[in-house]
Structure 1
Amino acid sequence: MSLPRLLIEPIIRNALTEDLGLAGDITSQAVIPVEHQSTVAMISRESGVLAGIDVAALSFELVDNSIIFEKHKQDGDILFPGTVIATVKGPSRSLLTGERTALNFISHLSGIASVTHQIVTSIKETKAQVVCTRKTTPGLRVMEKYAVKCGGGRNHRFALYDGILIKDNHIAIAGSVSKALMDAKSYAGHMVKIEIEVDTLEQLQEALSVGVDVVLLDNMSPDTLRKAVSMVNGQAITEASGRITPQTAPAIAASGVDMISVGWITHSASILDIGLDFI
Structure 2
Amino acid sequence: MKNDIKKIVQLAILEDIGGGDLTSTLLENKMIVAEIVCRENAVICGIDFANLCFLSIDPKIQITWNVEDGSNVIPGQIICRIYGLAKTIVTAERVALNFLQILSATSTKTAELVGLISGTKAKLLDTRKTIPGLRKAQKYAVKCGGGVNHRMGLYDCIMLKENHILTIGSLEDSIKDAVINFPKIPIIVEVESLDELKSVLSMTNITRILCDNFSIPDLIEAVQISSGVYPIEASGGINEDNIIQYAETGVDFISIGSLTKDIRSIDLSLRFSD
In the superposition, the TM-score normalised over structure 1's length comes to 0.95
Q: Tell me the equivalent position of 1:181.
A: 175
Letter in 1 for 2:231: I
Instruction: Work out the CA distance in 2 between the residues paired with 1:26 and 1:193.
Output: 51
Compute the displacement of 1:236 (Å): 1.2
Mapped to 2, the partners of 1:218 and 1:154 lie a distance apart of 19
What is the identity, as a one-letter code, of the residue corresponding to 2:195?
E
Q: Which amino acid aligns with 2:9?
A: I
Q: Name the amino acid aligned to 1:196.
A: V
Conserved? CA contact 1:182–1:210, under 8 Å: no
Shift of 1:167: 1.4
Q: Distance in 2 between matches of 1:243 and 1:40?
A: 43
Deviation at 1:178, TM superposition (A): 2.9
d(CA) in 1 for partners of 2:42, 2:85: 30
Kindly provide the amino acid, as one letter, of the partner of residue 259 in structure 1: F
1:19 to 16, 19, 40: 16
State the shift of 1:32 in Å. 0.2
Query: How far is 1:7 from its partner?
Result: 2.2
Q: 1:199 maps to what in 2?
A: 192
| 2:251 match: secondary structure | coil
| 2:4 paired residue number | 7
> 1:173 deviation in Å?
1.6
Give the Cα separation in 2 of the matches to 1:234 and 1:88.
54
Deviations 1:109-138 (A, max 9, x none): 000001111110010000001010111111
Retained in 2: the 8 A contact 1:177–1:203? no
Asked if 1:101 corresponds to 2:98, the answer is no
Q: Output the CA distance in 2 between the equivalents of 1:78 and 1:246.
A: 19
Q: Check if 1:32 corresponds to 2:59.
A: no
2:244 paired residue number: 250
Find the aligned partners of 1:99 and 1:230 in 2 and give their Cα distance.
Answer: 53
The residue that corresponds to 2:212 in the other structure is 218
Q: Give the partner amino acid of 2:21.
A: D
- Alignment partners' CA distance in 1, 2:177 and 2:90: 56
Shift of residue 87 of structure 1?
Answer: 0.4
Structure 2 SS opposite 1:42? strand
Tell me the SS of whatever aligns to 1:210. coil
Q: Which amino acid aligns with 2:14?
A: T
- Aligned equivalents of 1:277, 1:33: Cα separation in 2: 16
Matches for 1:1-279 after TM superposition, within 5 Å: 4-22=1-19, 24-29=20-25, 31-34=26-29, 36-189=30-183, 191-211=184-204, 212-279=206-273
Structure 1 stretches of 5 or more lacking a match? none
| Secondary structure at the counterpart of residue 84 of structure 1 | strand
CA-atom RMSD in angstroms = 1.1
Percent identity of equivalent pairs:
39
Answer whether contact 1:178 1:206 (CA < 8 A) is retained: no
Take 2:93 and 2:258, find their aligned partners in 1: how far apart are those partners?
27
What secondary structure does 1:256 align onto? coil
Normalised by the length of structure 2, the TM-score is 0.96
Helix, strand or coil at the partner of 2:202: helix
Letter in 1 for 2:218: T
> How many correspondences in the alignment?
272
Distance 1:110 1:214 in 2: 30
Deviation at 1:171, TM superposition (A): 1.9
Aligned equivalents of 1:138, 1:7: Cα separation in 2:
13
Task: Specify every segment of 5 or more residues in structure 2 that has no aligned partner in the other structure, as ranges.
Answer: none
Q: Which amino acid aligns with 2:86?
A: S
